[in-house]
Structure 1
Amino acid sequence: MALPVQKQARIWAIAAAVTFALLWLLGDVILPFLLGGAVAYLLDPVADRLERLGFSRVMAVTVISLVALLVLVVAVLLVIPTLIRQTSQLVETAPLLFAQLREGLSSRFPELMDETSTIRGQLDAIGEGIRARGGEILNSVLSAGLGVINLLVLLLVVPVVAIYLLVDWDRMVARVDELLPREHAPTIRRLAAEIDRTLASFIRGQGTVCLILGTYYAVALALVGLNFGLVVGAVAGLITFIPYVGALVGGALAIGLALFQFWGEWVWIGAVAGIFVAGQMIEGNILTPRLVGSSVGLHPVWLLFALAVFGTLFGFVGMLVAVPFAAMLGVLARFAIQRYQDSALYRGPAPMPPEAAAPPPARDAEWPGS
């Protein structure tokens, strides 16, 4: 006998509340396991493809692990130290850049830079703030990052969790499927498949786009000789998942730095601007259609809202689970809207068929015995 709808709704609400409570209470404790699960989810298609090529599951995971280890070693030795060094230099150079901006405005627009001018006061305040707090902000960010993400724990636990989950991924999915309530199993499978398609399109596809564009911006800006090109490329690539925002923020930062570095050399300034124009064309015409697809179902505003809410409620862990939860809630919302539009609450009472609405035809009276 099926449970009443009200009781089922109560059970699902309790399950959702327990999930949120676990995120709230455990917080950073489950961070390595969330990261390990995310890595396993991202690499599962690669392992499946290697299996189709004839590898065993264990051998496929071993190959993936060795390639990932090689990429990590290269990143640690070559990319990460340079990125940290350029970020520190950018923070230290920012007051000088603002001083040059103030001097340039003073020489070109002296009436705006009068001692009593509001613009002069604002630029002075910004410059003093950066000079006084630039290093402090950088140290706070780094110390907070190290406090939230214990580097040693991540390096040890995340790969181990990811490898174990990747080896047993198919068995775990099958086991979860066995535990689904039989009455709702087909609907849950359909919703799970739609959530998986959305996540695969967005996280795998958009993550690849971010990586490609970030690498392109960093290499191209380095080739034209722009200082801090690696930082600009990393920033632009990191926020490329929000349409146009990555190119606008990265382009504004790069062109601003180019104006200070190449002032008067308009060819190089134009080359920096052209790099981001070409990046947008490559993203819109090649990368996003091929890797992400035309219909992901995650609006940029919805993503920003999810990141803000989950980040505020659960901190860094919340920001990690914001995109998966946003995708899941989007799929569930579309399912609820579809059910609502199919319901009598939306359509109203069903109209009576014409034969039922018409009065019965008149018949001659029948007398007993006739």
Structure 2
Amino acid sequence: MSSRRWSTLTKIIVISTLAILAIVLLVTFREMIPPTVVAFLLAFILSYPVNWIQRTTGWARGTAVTVIYIILLALVALMPALLIPRSAELFLSLQAALEDLVTSLQTASAGPLLVLGNYRLSLDTVLQEAGNVLQNVLILATTNPMSIARGVTAGVLTVVYVLVLNFWLLKDLHKLQRLIYEQIPADYQEDVRRLAQSLGEVWHAFLRGQLVLGLVVGLMTWIALAIVGMPNAGGLALLAGVMEFLPTIGPGISGTIGTAVALFSGSTWMPVGNITFALVVMAIYIVITQIESVYLIPRLVGGRVQLHPAVTFVGIINGAMVFGVLGVLLATPTIASARILLSYVYRKLLDLEPFEPIQPLQPGVRIPGLIAGRKIEAVIFDLDGTLAPLDWRACHWAAQHLTWLDRLVPPVRRSYLARRAMILLEGFINFLINQLRHLNLQQDLARLSPLLDSLRGYPPAADLRPFPGVAETLAQLATHYRLVLVSTRSRQEIEQFLNQGDLDPNLFQLVIGREDVRNLLPHSEALLAAAQHLQLEPDQILVVSDTDINLRSARAAQMATAGVLCGLGEAQDLAEADLVLSSLLELTEWL
């Protein structure tokens, strides 16, 4: 008996109740919103090194995340000795420069800034009031030790919360993304994919771009100011780099402060007056700003994040008033993201196409199927275990020999353990082959190849044949998709496989063998080289393999993945793949 469907009124009541409950939860736990945002941002940033480790080594994502955390803890432990002294020197230099500037301004303020009748406002009055406010804050902090204890406790708990949440986000965010995609109706999956891609471009461009932009601008400022003899050039360069996280207004703030410092301090070696030196420093800031606007921002940040200066200014001010420092830093990408979402809603309300149509990259290519929210244009195949059967002699040997272990480890169990060992050894064997190639030890490699191939389940090239039905499947897929074959075997062995299997070499638009790349799988060099050759984005490519070690590299490169159970990997090994197929023949049902 089927479940009774909800009426429209029931759906409205349930949705309203859930919305009210969500608002109540947000209000109740509003203090946890900033650390949660920080955890997501940290996961977003740390995903770069985690993905790089996966692409390079093929390690499990949890292992890669653990390595990153160990490195971060080591850096935190070494920071007092390596970074803090120099950073403290720069901050003290900047502080000294600003204090000298304030002193100079106080000395230079001979008259009032504003006169309204009997009321006279001077800079001295403003600075005195600021000092009174600071003094009151210090008195409040020192006279309430319990508030300090609560603050320290809350701070420790917040740090623990951010680190733990960030760890699980880094490790399992791709699973959450796939789960969300699976819950979306098929008619809207493409819209969600395009929206997520656009939003990801905004945040990637902003976080990566602003960080690199701050480093580049800070370095340029440091060099230029040091050349002209600017006192405290390092501190002012640090200020310029930090101010890059305030788009539009940040460079103006750092330039104004630097020019004012130059006006009152003068150059350490240039034989010019302070006014002339201030004009020189102002020109330096203007030139750096122009280089930043014309060259750096378009390449490092891109056009998707750029907003009108007035919109940026209003967003930063409102973000500062509502969310403090976090609101200041994230105002620009948040507004840019809201612009994308509102544009989508607006165009849907007017029955317009919300996205620009995607032009096919070659005539006759049909609109491909969606896999994990990705539109597939090309398929990359592994060879052994995916297109051709493996050599199971190592498993048979483990089952038939070592009979003295029968009582402890039955033959079937020994065969299974040998299979697990082959899975674990595949990455190491490929790494070893790679190092022998780099050291030009070709003779040693040729001598060890039979043993290494046996340990990773590779049959001799003379015995390499495709699975039944693979030729027909590849021919069918080749009419709609661009196919690529990537293997750690030599090109000679690959060509021998194609000839022995009566496979048309023209089925594959690209064949990548051992000689074509510096680093073998599971390193992602071959996968990214294929994407570049095909002129496709990584998320338009599906990678098919029998082991998760290769699929991890594909996932780290933002490619869709499909695992086949006809090789080394079992269902539990390939659980993180977007598709798990019993054989390659099932792929046509999805594509």
- Are 2:178 and 1:179 equivalent residues in the alignment? no
Kindly state the Cα deviation for residue 154 of structure 1 after the two structures are TM-superposed: 5.4
Kindly state the Cα deviation for residue 130 of structure 1 after the two structures are TM-superposed: 1.0
1:342 is paired with a residue of what secondary structure?
coil
- 8 A contact 1:298–1:330 mirrored in 2: no
Alignment partner, residue 362 of structure 1: none
- Counterparts in 2 of 1:269-284, with a 5 A limit? 269-284=278-293
Alignment partner, residue 38 of structure 2: 35
Distance 1:99-1:321 versus aligned 2 partners, 3 A rule:
closer
- Gap runs ≥5 in structure 1: 104-112, 344-370
State the alpha-carbon separation in 2 of the partners of residues 248 and 213 from structure 1.
13
State the alpha-carbon separation in 2 of the partners of residues 254 and 123 from structure 1.
29
Kindly state the Cα deviation for residue 249 of structure 1 after the two structures are TM-superposed: 1.8
Distance 1:265-1:314 versus aligned 2 partners, 3 A rule:
closer
- Are 2:92 and 1:85 equivalent residues in the alignment? yes
- Are 2:126 and 1:129 equivalent residues in the alignment? yes
1:331 is paired with a residue of what secondary structure?
helix
- Counterparts in 2 of 1:49-88, with a 5 A limit? 49-56=52-59, 57-69=61-73, 73=79, 77-82=84-89, 84-86=91-93, 88=95
- Are 2:338 and 1:334 equivalent residues in the alignment? no
Aligned counterpart for 2:305 among listed residues 296, 299, 310: 296
State the alpha-carbon separation in 1 of the partners of residues 224 and 298 from structure 2.
23
Structure ranking higher in strand proportion: 2
Distance 1:306-1:267 versus aligned 2 partners, 3 A rule:
closer
Alignment partner, residue 545 of structure 2: none
Kindly state the Cα deviation for residue 267 of structure 1 after the two structures are TM-superposed: 6.5
- 8 A contact 1:91–1:138 mirrored in 2: no
- 8 A contact 1:235–1:246 mirrored in 2: no
- Are 2:221 and 1:217 equivalent residues in the alignment? yes
Distance 1:321-1:148 versus aligned 2 partners, 3 A rule:
farther
Distance 1:249-1:21 versus aligned 2 partners, 3 A rule:
farther
- 8 A contact 2:305–2:333 mirrored in 1: no
Residues 127-172 of structure 1: CA deviation (Å, up to 9, x unaligned)? 232145247449859x7xx969965455544344323321222222
Counterpart code for 2:127: I
- 8 A contact 2:43–2:170 mirrored in 1: yes
- 8 A contact 2:202–2:333 mirrored in 1: no
- Are 2:171 and 1:162 equivalent residues in the alignment? no
TM-score, normalising length from structure 1? Answer: 0.69
State the alpha-carbon separation in 2 of the partners of residues 330 and 290 from structure 1.
21
- 8 A contact 2:50–2:68 mirrored in 1: yes
Larger radius of gyration: 2
Higher RCO (C-alpha 8 Å, min separation 6): 1
Residues 311-364 of structure 1: CA deviation (Å, up to 9, x unaligned)? 444555655664454233211111123224436xxxxxxxxxxxxxxxxxxxxx
Structure ranking higher in helix proportion: 1
Structural RMSD (CA): 4.4
State the alpha-carbon separation in 2 of the partners of residues 2 and 186 from structure 1.
28
Alignment partner, residue 249 of structure 2: 245
Kindly state the Cα deviation for residue 308 of structure 1 after the two structures are TM-superposed: 3.7
- 8 A contact 1:98–1:123 mirrored in 2: no
TM-score, normalising length from structure 2? Answer: 0.46
Task: State the percentage of identical aligned residues.
Answer: 24
Distance 1:161-1:225 versus aligned 2 partners, 3 A rule:
farther
Alignment partner, residue 525 of structure 2: none
Distance 1:20-1:206 versus aligned 2 partners, 3 A rule:
farther
State the alpha-carbon separation in 2 of the partners of residues 287 and 244 from structure 1.
14
Corresponding residue pairs, total: 328
- 8 A contact 2:225–2:233 mirrored in 1: yes
Distance 1:208-1:283 versus aligned 2 partners, 3 A rule:
same
Distance 1:154-1:139 versus aligned 2 partners, 3 A rule:
farther
- 8 A contact 2:247–2:312 mirrored in 1: no
Alignment partner, residue 256 of structure 1: 260
Alignment partner, residue 103 of structure 2: 96
State the alpha-carbon separation in 2 of the partners of residues 171 and 185 from structure 1.
16
- 8 A contact 1:92–1:135 mirrored in 2: no
State the alpha-carbon separation in 1 of the partners of residues 51 and 113 from structure 2.
68
- Counterparts in 2 of 1:198-209, with a 5 A limit? 198-209=202-213
Kindly state the Cα deviation for residue 192 of structure 1 after the two structures are TM-superposed: 1.7
Counterpart code for 1:129: V
